[in-house]
Amino acid sequence: MGHESRVTLADVAERAGVSVSTASLAFSGSGPVSEATRERVHAAAAALGYGGPDPRARSLRRGRSGIVGVVLEERVRSAFLDPVKIQMLDGITDGIAPLDAGLLLLTETIESSVGLDSAPVDAVVLIGCSPRLEESVDRLRRRGIPTVAIEGTPAPDIVTVGIDNRDATRRGAQHLRDLGHTRVQVVALPADPERTRGRFDADFAGSPLADTMTERLAGAREVFPGITGWYGRASSIEEGLEGGRRLLGDVDPDDRPTAIIAQSDLLAAGVIRAAEELGIRVPEDLSVLGFDGIRPDGLETDLTTLVQPSIEKGRAAGAAVVRMLAGEQPPNVDFTSVLHVGATTAPPGSPVE
Amino acid sequence: MGHESRVTLADVAERAGVSVSTASLAFSGSGPVSEATRERVHAAAAALGYGGPDPRARSLRRGRSGIVGVVLEERVRSAFLDPVKIQMLDGITDGIAPLDAGLLLLTETIESSVGLDSAPVDAVVLIGCSPRLEESVDRLRRRGIPTVAIEGTPAPDIVTVGIDNRDATRRGAQHLRDLGHTRVQVVALPADPERTRGRFDADFAGSPLADTMTERLAGAREVFPGITGWYGRASSIEEGLEGGRRLLGDVDPDDRPTAIIAQSDLLAAGVIRAAEELGIRVPEDLSVLGFDGIRPDGLETDLTTLVQPSIEKGRAAGAAVVRMLAGEQPPNVDFTSVLHVGATTAPPGSPVE
DNA sequence: TATCGTAGTCGAAACGATTCGATTCGGTGT
DNA sequence: ACACCGAATCGAATCGTTTCGACTACGATA
């Protein structure tokens, strides 16, 4: 039963003895309908097993679907493993609450990203959007879909929400320098769209596209000009572990860095784990600086890190969406990170307490 | 610029000098169109800044929106804090991959749950759906929307995906009994829709609605018939901590349980933390059994727990959705959990190694 | 009593695409 | 040269609502 023709508003109207338009009003509540009529319509609906107006037709007519798309650059799985992303998502739901819209998870899959322009969204939020998205952003713009990018390259017609990546990292690096560190290296976020990993040297220009990575690196260089390091394939403990092994294990102990600037807390957690493996003590033999201010899974020490307001970022993005849908043109937003000095940084070569 | 009337397929068709239907074919590719025509249409589209067919209209006509709804019983925020939920979500995305549809996050908000029946979804997956959903499920059924419930009460017309909650817990409890435990208590999942918390005694019937909790409790009772305990407001470390304090701290040390069956790993982690607070050693003075097989944030010990295949559950749910949309009627699925013996269970009163 | 405003209702025109059946039109097979 | 076929194209109906303007009563105002 049930796969015959569906019950429509017209059926309900007929049974209730009213016109379709009246029946519509009885449901949507926008317009004057007598109490008696409303009841009759609802009764008819119940009798016919009508479940309410079809959202598809409604959204076509209204021009709004009540859905906000969220584009994650990676697989949903990996996005959900990153606490920062989750916090942003949470902030977004907060921010768009006034719309009472749903959140549609879209992943920037290979190529066509079918979802992105066949999805009935009223607006889109790009989270940590990668360069590959350029083209998609273009299509969104053409379709006139309001777009907000968190940590994205600023572009005409889209609102961006970001943080002071460069300056924050500079302050963190300065903290290390103040402690007396001079041999410092970086374990960085992915540097290219192909998601490779490897060492980079002092000349490394970064990718114009991997904005976050490049900015944070620039901040580190303001304090340690010739700084080199390693970039991973993702922001994860695993990649940090790999990077840590390379930077700490493959070298003559005398050349080994006394401090590592990790571009995320997850990477930092990996670096610390690598140090453990190699018998290097943190912070006595090695200082580690993170970025994000989350508490990485399984890391029990209090990480020195640059705390960024992830939830706020999401909330701001959500708020921007709301305003754009209201016809305004909200300004870009920039947040500030603060240095949290924990237990993973200390003067180089300091004795065990 | 841009808020005039939008460009439609008709405009494109006219400019390309073809009929609307041909233009449509040129885009959707379903039907014979000469190469020349297709190019002309696309050129016209580009010239006019047409971003492709409007998904709203398309979905009305096609009767499919390409969106699968996921209903989380709680706020999105708290759902994302539960690793089990995340794993299921991940599994779902995997499972519905063949549809290449988006995932719409819906929360069972108070009352009307605006989202649930005004959302243009082709199918819905309920995750850990609470009893309050009964009514919503009803509406979904009426609308003829295929519905899959993970850990939900079986109901006509909906497919359920579950695990052997009862039997698994029984095996876990048996493990404790085999170790020699007799004073055992439970720290349980929420027991009622109002999300209160408190003690429950040997007569406690559970809620017919909080299925998971009741089933797992029943399993424990098969081994320890008169077992009592505490139920929390959520599955979280925090609630486990609270429960642990009550069961371990508020009693005469001689009556104190020698083992606690936690109904989730997060609760177990909380219990362990409570034990630490109270100076109770795990597993020497207290054995703790978890459920889920995740690695709770910040817990460094290897938890003895019942490992359930969360990702598989999600995947199965996704697969069921796919089959339902294909017109089949897939069977319910039940998975099996396996006992992982870690370092948090030991014979009662055993000496420190 | 004539007039006006208003609550309630209705018809019909969108909304923007897809799709079914019909129509054209070169080109084969015989 | 005749009927016939498939490819390409087109017209028109359809998906199920919402909304706009028009129309009816009916009580209130002048």
Helix B20-28 and helix B9-16, axial crossing angle in degrees, nearest 10: 100
The answer to whether strand D lies under 7 Å from the CB of residue A62 is yes
Domains observed in chain A: 9-53 (no CATH), 67-163+310-336 (3.40.50.2300), 165-308 (3.40.50.2300)
Q: Quote the percentage of chain A above a pLDDT of 70.
A: 91
Q: What end-to-end distance do the CA atoms of chain A give, in Å?
A: 76
pLDDT at A305 over 90: yes
Cα separations in angstroms, B334 against B210, B313, B316, B321: 18, 9, 10, 16
pLDDT in tens, A1-49: 444 568 999 999 999 999 999 999 999 888 889 999 999 999 999 999 9
Q: Scanning every residue of chain A, which has its alpha carbon at the shortest distance from the alpha carbon of B294?
A: A297
User: Of residues A97 and A268, which shows the higher confidence score?
Assistant: A268
Please report the pLDDT score of residue B304 as a whole number.
98
Name the residue with the least CA to C1' distance from nucleotide C8: A33
Q: Which of A65, A84, A113 to mutate to test the interface with B (most CBs of B within 10 A)?
A: A65
**According to the per-residue pLDDT averaged within each range, which of A19-28, A135-144, A245-254, A295-304 is highest?**
A19-28
Residue-level pLDDT at B297? 66
Assess contact for A176 and A113: CB atoms under 8 A. Answer: no
pLDDT in tens, chain B (353 residues): 444 568 999 999 999 999 999 999 999 888 889 999 999 999 999 999 999 999 999 999 999 999 999 988 766 667 777 889 888 998 998 899 888 888 998 876 644 445 777 899 999 999 876 656 677 788 888 888 999 999 887 788 899 999 999 999 999 999 999 999 999 999 999 887 677 899 999 999 877 666 889 999 999 999 999 999 999 998 888 899 999 999 999 888 888 999 999 999 999 999 999 999 999 999 999 999 999 999 876 677 899 999 999 999 999 999 999 999 999 999 999 999 999 999 999 999 855 44
Q: Is A51 on the interface with B (CB under 8 A)?
A: yes
List, in order, residues 6 or more apart from A169 with CB less than 8 Å away.
A215, A216, A217, A218, A219, A220, A261, A263, A291, A306
Residue A162 pLDDT exceeds 60: yes
Judge contact between B289 and B302, C-beta under 8 A: no
> What pLDDT is recorded for position A194?
73
Phi-psi bin for B292: left (phi > 0), alpha (psi -120 to 50), beta?
A: left
A21-47: b (≥16 Cβ within 10 Å) or e: ebbbbbbeeeeebeeebbebbbebbee
Rounded CA separation B190/B148 (Å): 22
Q: Contact at 8 Å (CB) between A332 and A323?
A: no
Provide, as residue numbers in chain B, all residues whose Cβ is less than 8 Å from the Cβ of A300.
Answer: 298, 300
**Number of CB atoms found within 10 A of residue B324's CB:** 19
Residue B46: its pLDDT value, please?
95
Any A CB within 8 A of B98 CB: no
Separation of CA A148 and C1' D20 in angstroms? 34
Average predicted confidence (pLDDT) for chain A? 89
**What SS3 state is found at B228?**
strand
Task: Give the residue from chain B lying closest to A66, CA to CA.
Answer: B119
To the nearest 10°, report the CA torsion of A219, A223, A229, A235: -30
Contact flag A114-B105 (C-beta cutoff 8 Å): no
Q: Running DSSP on this structure, what letter comes out for residue A8? A: -
Question: Which residue did the predictor score with more confidence, B140 or A177?
Answer: A177
Q: For strand D, is any atom closer than 7 Å to the CB of B65?
A: no
CB of B189 closer than 8 Å to CB of B263: yes
Chain B residue numbers touching A89 (CB-CB < 8 A):
76, 80
